[in-house]
Every structure is written in C-alpha cells, then in structure tokens.
C-alpha cells in the first residue's frame, strides 16, 4: 500500500476487501499540481484495473482525503494481509496471527480481523483491546490472544461468615526459626455482650459460561440453605441472619454451634481457691499447687508451673511452662496440648501434642501428631503413642534409656490391641495351670480315690478350664480384626532431626525399627506396605506435617 497521510497534496492507492481505492489529500501549496497521469501510471504498476480519466480527475478536484472505491479488483487479494486462527482444545481461548500486507494493500482493520475470527467459528469473548493494540503497533507475525471464553460461575448457597477466629490455638504462630512460640499463644478470645459473632452471607446465583465458539457451559447450582444455630449465651436477631453474644466471655465453636462461655481468671489454684470445676474456660495466671485439680468444659491456660496436679479440659490446654508431675501429674484434653516440657506425668490429647523442650519419664497419648519443636526438643525414657506423626531432635539417651514411640495408630486402638494380647497371655497361663491341676485330679480319681472333695475339685477345675477356653477363643476371634486396624497410616512418619540413640524403638503398627548400636543421625522414617523406608533429614527440604482444619 502507498500510504503517507502526513504528505498533503499526495495520493494513496491500495486494495481493500475486493476493491481498488484511491485517496487524494488536499494540496498544501508547496507541492506541484497532481495530474491524472500520475495516478494512472501508479495503477498500472500495481496491476489495478483501469478507470476513466474523468473519475480520477473528479477525485483530484474534490481531494477529500477519504478513500474512494475506484473499481472491483479481485486479483488484489494476493496483496492483502493473511490471518490464521487457532482455537484451544477446550474452546476457552482463541489466538490469531496477522501477517503483514504486501505493498499495495491496506493494513487490516479491526473489522477485517473480527470477520476472520467469525469465519473460523469464533463468535464470543472478543478481546478487541488486544487486537487494536496489535494493529496499531503492527505486531505482524506474532500470536495474539483474540478471544477468551467465559467461565461458568458456580452458584453458592447461603454460607456462615464467622467474625472470630475459629482455629486459634493451632500451630501456626511460629518464630523465625520455625518454632512454635508458646508465650504468644492464646486460646481465649473474649467478646462483649452484643458483639457480632456470625452472620449469613447472601447466596451467589449460578452463571453459565460460554466457549469462544458459542457453546454454553452450564454452571453448577448450589441451592443449599444453612441457618445460624445459637449456642450457649448467644442470640439471633429477629431476621435470623446475625448472631450476637449475650454475655461477656470466651467465644468458641461447639460442634456446628457458636457459644460464648464465661471465663474465670484466678491467680493460683491452691488452698485459697480449692479445686476448680467449671463449664467454661479457665485462666490461671500463676501456678497449680500439688494435689489440686482443674476441670474445664472449654480451654485451660496456665502461666506458671504445674506439679502433681490433675488437669482436664474439653478443649485445649496451654502450659506456658510445663508439668513436673513426680509420677502423679495427669493431663487430659479433647483438643491440642501445648507445653514447654512434660516430666514424670501422663498426658492424653484428642488433637496434637506440642512440646517445646523435652518429654522425660512420661506417657503421652496423642490423637494426631506429637511434635517437639524447641532448641532441645528431646524425648527420654518415655512412651509416646501418636495417631499421626512424631517429630523431635533427640530420641533416647546415650545411657540407653528405654524409649518407645508408636506412630500412625490411634492410641485407643493400640491400647485396646495391647490389652487383648495381655489378656490372652494371662488367660493362657491360667488355663495351663487349671488344666494341669484338673489332669492331676483326674489321675487321682483313676486310682480309686473317690473323696467327695476331690470329685468336687475336679468338677470345678474342669468348669474353670472350659470358661477360660471360651474367653481365650473370644479374644482370638476379636484380635485379627483389631490387628488390621492397628496398621500404621501411610501418611505417618517419624522425624529425628539430630540423634536417635540405641535403646530407642519406633513402631509403625506391627513394624518395629531399632537403630544400630552406634545410633543414627538425621532420620526420616516411614512405613509403606509393611516395609520400613529410611530417609535423611535435610533442614533445607523439611517434610510437611498435615494439620486438618477443624472448627472445634
């Protein structure tokens, strides 16, 4: 195409859409006069069909600066820009490549490009701004996204938006070293009377999508409806879409309901307070004296030390120092347990157990993980059962203290299975003893000794032997099914960041791992299909523990 719109008094000849066009620009007084012969000669060079001199003279005289169709020129198509359209397999995107026009053809217009897209079957989602930019910058020979489909928007029924943290106290508050900061954890979230706790969000209607080729993509519709369930010490507004606190206290989830429980705060638990039994949460700013107990339906939070005490919580327990139970301290909680250390005590948590420094001479039962994450992070002379995974720095002691870790099996399952095995062993010993005594009694009867006491004893021993045999058979029938249920979960693992000493044992279900005599360092242990898999721990590529999100 001959084109220079800034040169006044000039002309342009070009092909567009099957026609030859002429544009004559008004003269500016500095160029020579334009003659029909100038235009006719250029038309011959381009191969345009001839037109009358009168038509050309009229264009020169009018000089409108606008294109004028001179004649049909089908052959000019060879000079025009070519375009290729590509539609993705999912028909959600289309691209076009525009080739540069040859000399004598007009640059393609937006309408030319849209027509080419429609001819290729693209009818929806044109990205005209992309195309206009490409034409303006003459981005020839490059792929340009020309159209994008509309994705369907799934409908969403009503949802509940909670205006408080439903997962506080979870192990997400960490220091720069990746360690849980017990000092900053807080299970209590106090609200005031009248505070908004939760509200219903409006449903979102479904919106169908469409491919670039015009095919409708139906959207999923979710017509579920939910409602706010007022729990203890909460109230609904008259419309039933907002839930408010009716007292001052700690807000938390109880199943699917929101409740506000009163919170009691005491300096210490000792003879000045006596034992504490409370339906809500308890905060002890000081310590719990030996021999005292704290029972809470919610959470328990204790700032200073705990000794030979009994702590029971329906929720979580946070010991910002720890417990030295002298063999008599007991901890039970329905959710997670956080402590700086556990020594000479028994601890049971429905969730995970997070200990900063050490577990020593203790029995720990964890429904999920048992994680030691402090600078020491060591376990010595203890038995730990973790339904999920286990993680520490040092396991055992160079003095070969007896330390056992059971991983990947729920504590109650494992304890029930171990109880059955112990009962079977005990009953077998009793049966052996009773059977031996019955055999001896029968031998005496065979010698002719018909003493009534001997006859009665023989009958009693036979009856006892039969009863023990029945008990043994019942346990044997129950054991195989339970044995299958104590196989370790495939996602469970044991991580020892530093040393595992001789004398320590890690058990995955029915598979046992013992370190070599010299111990082992930096161990990641898993069990797959009954086969132990050992890996090396690397600080730069730490394995991940899965923490399920829970509203309870």
**Residues 398 and 326 placed together within one structural domain of the fold:** yes
The predicted pLDDT at position 30 comes to 61
The predicted pLDDT at position 168 comes to 64
Averaged pLDDT for residues 412-419 = 74
For residue 35, the enclosing domain spans 11-77
User: Which of 10-19, 109-118, 539-548 has the highest mean predicted lDDT (pLDDT)?
Assistant: 109-118
Q: Which of 33, 56, 77 is the endpoint of a domain?
A: 77
For residue 352, count CB atoms less than 10 angstroms from its CB and return exposed for 0-12, middle for 13-18, buried for 19 or more: buried
The predicted pLDDT at position 300 comes to 94
**Residues 368 and 401 placed together within one structural domain of the fold:** yes
**Residues 499 and 383 placed together within one structural domain of the fold:** yes
User: Which of 24-33, 178-187, 352-361, 454-463 has the highest mean predicted lDDT (pLDDT)?
Assistant: 352-361
Q: Is residue 298 part of a domain?
A: yes
Averaged pLDDT for residues 415-431 = 80
The larger pLDDT score, comparing residue 96 to residue 11, is at 96
Q: Is residue 158 part of a domain?
A: no
Judged against a pLDDT cut of 70, whether residue 535 lies above it is answered with yes
The predicted pLDDT at position 8 comes to 47
Q: How far is CA 318 from CA 298, 350, 421, in A?
A: 12, 14, 35
- Buried-state track 143-167, b at ≥16 Cβ within 10 A, e below 16: ebebbbbbebeebbebebebebebe
Judged against a pLDDT cut of 80, whether residue 175 lies above it is answered with no
Averaged pLDDT for residues 377-385 = 95
Answer positive or negative: Cα dihedral of 327, 330, 335, 341. negative
Q: Provide the pLDDT confidence category of residue 197 given band limits of 50, 70 and 90.
A: very high
Q: Which of 27, 56, 77 is the endpoint of a domain?
A: 77
Judged against a pLDDT cut of 90, whether residue 158 lies above it is answered with no
Q: Is residue 154 part of a domain?
A: no
Q: Provide the pLDDT confidence category of residue 342 given band limits of 50, 70 and 90.
A: very high
Q: What's the token pair of residue 445?
A: 């009867």
For residue 547, count CB atoms less than 10 angstroms from its CB and return exposed for 0-12, middle for 13-18, buried for 19 or more: middle
Residues 322, 306 contacting (CB under 8 angstroms): yes
The predicted pLDDT at position 401 comes to 78
Averaged pLDDT for residues 409-429 = 79
**Residues 66 and 113 placed together within one structural domain of the fold:** no
Averaged pLDDT for residues 192-205 = 90
Vertex 410 angle, CA 391 and 335, to 5°: 75
Q: Which of 92, 121, 148 is the endpoint of a domain?
A: 148
The alpha carbon of 526 is separated from its chain's Cα centroid by a whole number of angstroms, namely 22
**Residues 523 and 470 placed together within one structural domain of the fold:** no
**Residues 308 and 456 placed together within one structural domain of the fold:** no
The larger pLDDT score, comparing residue 505 to residue 432, is at 505
Q: Is residue 261 part of a domain?
A: no
CA separation for the pair 97, 142 (Å, rounded):
6
Roughly what angle, to the nearest 10 degrees, separates helices 411-446 and 452-485?
160
Q: What's the token pair of residue 483?
A: 């044995």
Averaged pLDDT for residues 74-94 = 91
**Residues 405 and 437 placed together within one structural domain of the fold:** no
The predicted pLDDT at position 32 comes to 64
Judged against a pLDDT cut of 80, whether residue 51 lies above it is answered with yes
Among residues 545, 454, 456, the alpha carbon closest in space to that of 495 is found at 545
The tally of domains found in the chain comes to: 4
Judged against a pLDDT cut of 50, whether residue 228 lies above it is answered with yes
**Residues 429 and 310 placed together within one structural domain of the fold:** no
Q: Is residue 88 part of a domain?
A: yes
| pTM for this predicted structure | 0.55
The alpha carbon of 340 is separated from its chain's Cα centroid by a whole number of angstroms, namely 28
pLDDT more than 90, % of the chain:
44
Q: Is residue 243 part of a domain?
A: no
CA separation for the pair 200, 78 (Å, rounded):
64
Q: Provide the pLDDT confidence category of residue 288 given band limits of 50, 70 and 90.
A: very high
CA separation for the pair 51, 445 (Å, rounded):
141
The predicted pLDDT at position 433 comes to 86
Vertex 368 angle, CA 363 and 370, to 5°: 50
The predicted pLDDT at position 513 comes to 94
**Residues 67 and 126 placed together within one structural domain of the fold:** no
**Residues 382 and 407 placed together within one structural domain of the fold:** yes
């Amino acid at each position: 195409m001959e084109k220079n719109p800034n040169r006044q008094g000039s002309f342009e000849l070009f092909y567009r859409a099957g026609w030859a066009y002429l544009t004559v620009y008004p003269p500016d007084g500095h160029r020579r006069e334009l003659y029909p012969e100038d235009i006719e000669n250029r038309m011959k060079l381009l191969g345009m069909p001839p037109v009358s001199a009168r038509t050309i003279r009229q264009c020169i005289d009018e000089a409108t600066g606008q294109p004028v169709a001179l004649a049909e020129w089908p052959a000019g198509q060879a000079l025009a820009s070519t375009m290729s359209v590509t539609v993705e397999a999912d028909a959600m995107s289309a691209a076009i490549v525009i080739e540069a026009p040859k000399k004598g053809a007009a640059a393609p217009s937006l309408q030319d490009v849209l027509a080419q897209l429609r001819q290729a079957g693209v009818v929806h989602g044109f990205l005209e701004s992309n195309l206009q930019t490409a034409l303006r910058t003459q981005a020839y020979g490059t792929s340009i996204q020309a159209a994008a489909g509309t994705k369907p928007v799934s409908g969403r029924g009503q949802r509940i938006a909670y205006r408080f943290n439903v997962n506080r106290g979870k192990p997400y508050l960490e220091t720069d070293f990746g360690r849980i900061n017990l000092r900053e954890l807080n299970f209590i979230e106090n609200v005031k009377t009248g505070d908004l706790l939760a509200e219903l969000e409006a449903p979102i209607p479904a919106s169908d999508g469409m491919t670039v080729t015009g095919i409708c993509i139906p959207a999923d519709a979710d017509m579920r409806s939910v409602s706010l369930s007022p729990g203890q010490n909460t109230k609904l507004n008259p419309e039933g879409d907002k839930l408010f606190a009716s007292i001052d206290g700690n807000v938390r989830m109880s199943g699917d309901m929101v409740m506000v429980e009163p919170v009691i705060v005491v300096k210490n638990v000792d003879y000045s307070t006596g034992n504490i039994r409370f339906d809500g949460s308890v905060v002890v700013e000081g310590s719990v004296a030996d021999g005292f107990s704290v029972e809470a339906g919610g959470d328990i939070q204790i700032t200073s030390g705990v000794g030979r005490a009994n702590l029971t919580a329906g929720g979580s327990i946070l010991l910002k120092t720890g417990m030295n139970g002298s063999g008599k301290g007991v901890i039970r909680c329905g959710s997670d347990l956080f402590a700086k250390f556990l020594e000479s005590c028994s601890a049971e948590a429905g969730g995970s157990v997070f200990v900063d420094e050490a577990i020593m001479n203790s029995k720990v039962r964890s429904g999920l993980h048992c994680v030691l994450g402090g600078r020491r992070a060591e376990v010595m002379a203890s038995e730990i059962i973790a339904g999920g995974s286990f993680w520490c720095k040092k396991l055992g002691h160079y003095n070969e203290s007896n330390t056992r870790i059971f991983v990947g099996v729920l504590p109650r399952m494992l304890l029930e299975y171990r109880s059955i095995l112990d009962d079977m062993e005990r009953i077998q010993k009793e049966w052996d003893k009773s059977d031996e005594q019955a055999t001896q009694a029968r031998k005496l009867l065979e010698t002719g000794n018909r003493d009534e006491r001997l006859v009665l004893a023989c009958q009693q021993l036979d009856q006892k032997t039969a009863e023990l045999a029945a008990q043994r058979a019942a346990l044997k029938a129950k054991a195989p099914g339970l044995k299958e249920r104590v196989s370790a979960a495939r996602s469970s693992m044991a991580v020892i960041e530093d040393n595992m000493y001789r004398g320590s044992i890690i058990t995955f279900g029915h598979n046992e791992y013992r370190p070599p005599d010299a111990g082992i360092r930096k161990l990641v242990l898993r069990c797959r299909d009954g086969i132990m898999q050992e890996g090396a721990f690397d600080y730069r590529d730490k394995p991940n523990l899965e923490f399920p999100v829970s509203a309870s």
